[in-house]
Amino acid sequence: MASRFSRLAKPIAAATVVATGGVVGFAAFSNRTSHTVDKPLVELKRDAQGRIVPPSFPSVKDREAQLADLRAHASDSAEYDLLVALVERDEWSAGTSSKSTKLVHGGVRYLEKAILNLDYAQWQLVKEALHERKTFLTVAPHLSSSLPIVLPVQDWYWAPYAWVGTKMYDLLAGSQGLESSYFMSKSKALEAFPLLRKEGLFGALAYYDGQHNDSRMNVSLALTAALYGATVANHVEVTSLEKNANGKICGAKVRDVLNPASESFTVRAKGVINATGPFADAIERMDNPNHKSIVAPASGAHIMLPGNICPNGIGLLQTSSDGRVIFVLPWQGATLAGTTDTACAVEKEPIAQDKDIDFILSEVNKMITPESALSRSDVMAAWS
């Protein structure tokens, strides 16, 4: 009896979490407002004829002027006006920053793990991500938007499970949520996705997440920082960290990658932030050669496919054969599909492997009708 109870304990506890979360979250959910009806952060200016007057901004210093500002602060003997300096070894938004699935999302799968495994850390992760999603959609509506995503339901008995999951996602977002999730009949799902595989299809669950232009967002952040007084320079590489007599980091030595003949120079700073993604360990070893790696590098391949897969501005999400999920999303007139999760070495410009491309194609083909099956010739682009 005891062992039987222990087997039931986890599902019962998970169900309790779902029920409790629903009750607690209802108040916030019922008072939530969509980002689509929020008042703009800045009111539009109009002329006498009612036409919108485009905003004007001061000019941003060019790269040479930014480099001059960096060099001007090589001395730590005087007070200086430089508050923030941002250097990037490559182009703005190179590497991981622009090789994403183009989503601003809380993570439906993370929420599932949080509930089934009673994992509070995962729960907090989703909650924080949903908060940041709202921030992105509010401060950069020209670069981001809400996106309906559909989960095809193959068996009727899976529908209540999926419905509870999407509703919990809505509830956890609270007042920062987007439009409410809803159930789609089989006919409605096929209307939204004419190429969706019909055999065994019961219906679909639709929920809302965020989508954004990651590369333009990065450039916009750099430009905004520059407008507010930061010194920003791309193609500038950190070659070493500077330390004072007490061994405290007090700056970094950098070099202009575009001008190999130029000498390295030091930028003094009260603090140095290592925001280098997969290259974080390499920077850490400039401080401590014995630093043990904390980054577990993995590549996530994505491919671009014809736009007829998602013709109505709605995405697809399906559990993949390896137990993760595959996103199939509309993106700038085409279809973005991914992703994989393969351990790899840290590389400056990783390339999507053939096996990963084939895997994504295979998973997408499971979602669509056999006569619409995709091949390598349909792949318009790939990245990892």
84 vs 272: CA distance, rounded Å: 10
State the CATH number of the domain containing residue 314: 3.30.9.10
Does 359 share its domain with 312?
yes
Considering the domain architecture, whether residues 237 and 376 belong to the same structural domain is answered as no
Q: Domain tally for the chain?
A: 2
What local confidence, expressed as pLDDT, does residue 212 receive?
Answer: 93
The CATH number that applies at residue 282 is 3.50.50.60
Across the chain, how many H-helices and E-strands are there? 9, 16
Is the residue at 139 inside a domain?
A: no
Q: What is the pLDDT of residue 105?
A: 87
- Predicted TM-score (pTM) of the model is 0.79
Q: Report if residue 126 sits inside a domain.
A: no
pLDDT of residue 293: 93
- The reported pLDDT for the residue numbered 76 is 46
Of 239, 268, 287, which residue is a domain's last?
A: 287
| 158 shares its domain with 229 | no
Same domain, 93 and 234: yes
Tell me, yes or no, whether 191 and 331 share the same domain.
Answer: yes
Q: What is the pLDDT of residue 12?
A: 40
Report pLDDT for 41. 52
Angstrom CA distances, 230 to 50, 71, 139, 219, 267, stand at 36, 14, 19, 14, 14
Query: Is 349 in the same domain as 378?
Result: yes
Residue 245 located in a structural domain: yes
Q: Are residues 302 and 377 in the same domain?
A: yes
* 235 contacts 258 by C-beta, under 8 angstroms: yes
Of 259, 287, 315, which residue is a domain's last? 287
Contacts of 69 (CB under 8 A, 6+ apart): 61, 82, 85, 231
Strands, DSSP E only, in the chain?
A: 85-88, 103-104, 144-153, 182-185, 203-212, 231-234, 236-243, 249-256, 265-268, 298-299, 302-305, 315-319, 325-331, 334-338, 342-343, 381-383
| 14 in any annotated domain | no
Residue 201 forms part of a structural domain: yes
Q: What is the pLDDT of residue 4?
A: 41
Residue pLDDT tens, the chain, 384 long: 444 434 444 444 444 444 444 443 444 344 444 444 455 555 778 888 888 888 777 788 888 989 898 887 655 434 455 578 999 999 999 988 899 999 998 888 788 888 888 888 888 989 999 999 999 899 889 899 999 999 999 988 889 988 998 998 888 888 888 889 999 999 999 999 999 999 999 999 999 999 999 999 999 999 988 988 889 999 999 999 999 999 999 999 999 999 988 899 999 888 899 999 999 999 999 999 999 999 998 889 999 999 999 999 999 999 888 888 899 999 999 999 998 988 888 888 889 999 999 999 999 999 999 999 999 999 999 998
Domain that holds residue 247: 63-97+216-287
In a domain, 15, yes or no: no
Residues 188 and 260 in one domain: no
Q: Measured between alpha carbons, how far is 162 from 160 in angstroms, rounded to an integer?
A: 5
Domain boundary among 264, 287, 310: 287
In terms of domains, do 222 and 205 share one?
no
For residue 112, being part of any structural domain is answered with: no
> 137: Cβ–Cβ under 8 A, 6 or more apart, which residues?
35, 104, 144, 145, 146, 178, 210
Rg of the chain taking only CA atoms, in angstroms: 25
Token pair of 332 as six digits: 């700038």
The residue assigned the tokens 């990783």 is: 350
Residue 71 lies in a domain: yes
